[in-house]
Amino acid sequence: MDHNPHLKSWAVPTPNKVAGKGHVEIPAEAENIVWQTRAAPPSDYENALGDAIETAFGEGHYDLAPLVARINALGVMSPEGTPWTEDRFKTEMARLGY
């Protein structure tokens, strides 16, 4: 499964006050990694962007400017359908939770 269909973003867990009973960690303090807690599978756009980033990393493009240039060269456009800029890429990564 690639997402959690039962995720309730509004539910705030209340930890058990008895030390360790029923939980490995205190739920409100555990880090939720985005891909483990997403409410829907990734979109085609997100998959294409992820594939392009993976390709760029695989080719050794780790710094922002060459990474963005490689994503543009691979033909993956921003959500607006325009080539990526460094600022637009940083904004999108923040929006996606990375």
What tokens were used for 16?
């058990």
User: Domain residues of the chain, as ranges?
Assistant: 1-40, 44-96
Tokens of 64: 């922002």
Element (H, E) at 46: helix 44-58
What's the pLDDT at 9?
A: 63
Give the count of alpha carbons within 13 A of 66, CB side only: 9
With a threshold of 0.75, does the pTM exceed it?
A: no
Residue with tokens 């930890």: 15
Ordered per-residue pLDDT tens for the chain, 98 residues: 677 776 666 555 665 566 555 555 566 666 666 556 677 788 999 999 999 999 999 999 999 999 999 999 999 999 999 999 999 999 999 988 76
